[in-house]
Amino acid sequence: MIQFRDLQKQYAALKPAVDEAVAGVFTSTHFIGGSEVSSLESELADFVGTTHCISCANGTDALSLALMAWGIKAGDAVFVPDFTFFASAEAPAHIGATPILVDVDAQTYNIDPQKLEEAIRAVHKEGSLTPKVVVTVDLFGLPADYSEIRRICNTYGLLILEDAAQAFGGSYKGQKACSFGDISTTSFFPAKPLGCYGDGGAIFTDNDEWASLIRSYAVHGKGSMKYDNVRVGVNSRLDAIQAAILRVKFAAFKDYELDAINKTADYYDVGLKDSGCELPVVPASYYSSWAQYTIRLPQGTDRNAMQEYLKGQGIPTMVYYPKPLHQQPALKDIARRFGDNEVSSALCETVLSLPIHPYLETYEVDQVISEVCSFLKSRL
């Protein structure tokens, strides 16, 4: 049976090591903090190439903690791509800042640097908000266009918050995702490229001051110790069981999973070449960690019917995302935009994500390819 993301096969492959790691935490009864958490943090920082890694409770908190460390508040403009998961805009909105929704690039689905620059200029011109931060999302595993975005942020004095919740393991010009932001974040939600067995997240930065602020905000605004509270923070920690599981899974991730999932993506590319769909674009010098393999269906395809058909053949699919953020009711009176964001709207009408994970067998990929092609041919 084809799974959209097969966590059962993964557990079967890693079971002895995962079970032993979890049993080790049970025996130690060191459930919060401790050596599993600090070892994981240094292993992740090493891999990504940043000075600091601070683990926390989930990827949404990771974004919030970064914004708290920067003192982002009401009256500040935070630029966010319109085509992403809700949390990218929810974090700035939650602390009272105004998300400015920017359209994405039609090829990479990541924030369009030219439209970003136009939006920054529009906010400056309009004058009621102060541009502060760009949340760059590395959508579906592919890092955003950091050479352009960094140039723009330098020009206008903005900070980059890299939301790499979907892109741990991705890279650009050999540099790893989670190292492009002034602060970068990721999520260990089970279905993300590196997932744990519950909720989890992490924050990465080279800046010592922000790192210590984040460590403080994440533990009730602690000062010299937990019962010296120097600022109002939150309680957001990764627990030791999750850290122990992540250390096992991280070894497999580096060892073969990332490679395996890239081979599957290549295999899809070849098999779907003449399907009439637009395939995911990975520009030169980029490497994706394939949180999703997302195609765009030919104009006029009945996506619901196609999903139903594939489901009938035992092939699960998902629509990431059915709505651009500017159509989300929760953001209606909060977020703003300066363009029509037509690329984001069009993507939401036509995208379809196919099953992809490191344990997908070649014959299963063949089956997906053949059913996708046969549905599309029958509709010609």
- Residue 319: Cβ-neighbour burial (10 angstroms; 0-12, 13-18, 19+): middle
Is there binding between residue 165 and ligand PLP (CB under 6 A)?
Answer: yes
Based on the shown chain and the rule CB under 6 A, indicate whether residue 137 belongs to the binding site for ligand PLP: yes
- The answer to the question of residue 189 lying near ligand PLP (CB under 6 A) is yes
Nearest distance in Å: CB 67, ligand PLP: 13
φ, ψ of residue 302 to 5 degrees: the values are -80, 100
Name the residue among 22, 373, 52, 53 with its Cα closest to residue 206.
52
User: Least Å distance between CB 85 and ligand PLP?
Assistant: 4
Binding residue for ligand PLP (CB under 6 A) from 72, 87, 219, 241? 87
What residues contact 48, with CB distance under 8 A and at least 6 apart? 176, 177, 178, 179, 184, 204
Radius of gyration over alpha carbons of the chain, in Å?
Answer: 21
Regarding beta strands 293-296 and 351-354, do their DSSP bridges make them parallel or antiparallel, or are they unpaired? antiparallel
166 binds ligand PLP (CB under 6 A): yes
Shortest distance, position 139 Cβ to ligand PLP, whole Å? 7
**In angstroms, what is the minimal distance from the CB of 376 to ligand PLP?**
28
User: Sheet containing 98-102: which strands, arranged edge to edge?
Assistant: 52-56, 201-205, 183-187, 159-163, 130-137, 76-81, 98-102
Output the smallest distance, CB 5 to ligand PLP, in A: 13
163 sits near ligand PLP (criterion: CB under 6 A): yes
End-to-end Cα, the chain, rounded Å: 29
- Asked if 275 touches ligand PLP (CB under 6 A), the answer is no
d(CA 190, CA 200): 9
Count of residues of this chain found to bind ligand PLP when the rule CB under 6 A is applied = 15
Find the binder of ligand PLP among 10, 50, 55, 58 (CB under 6 A).
Answer: 58
Nearest to 89 by CA among 121, 136, 156: 136
Asked if 82 is part of the footprint of ligand PLP (rule: CB under 6 A), the reply reads no
Angle at 97 between CA 91 and CA 102, to 5 degrees: 80
Considering only 88, 262, 289, 317, the residue that binds ligand PLP (CB under 6 A) is 88
Question: Does residue 194 contact residue 246 with C-beta atoms inside 8 Å?
Answer: yes
Of 287 and 321, nearer to ligand PLP (C-beta) is 321
Nearer to ligand PLP, 201 or 233 (CB): 201
- The answer to whether 79 contacts ligand PLP (rule: CB under 6 A) is no
Among 85, 168, 217, 338, binds ligand PLP (CB under 6 A): 85
**84 binds ligand PLP per the rule CB under 6 A:** yes
Binds ligand PLP by CB under 6 A, chosen from 50, 136, 187, 264: 187
Cα–Cα distance measured from residue 289 to residue 323, given in angstroms and rounded to the nearest whole number: 24
Give residues in contact with ligand PLP (CB under 6 A). 58-60, 84-85, 87-88, 137, 163, 165-166, 187, 189, 199, 201
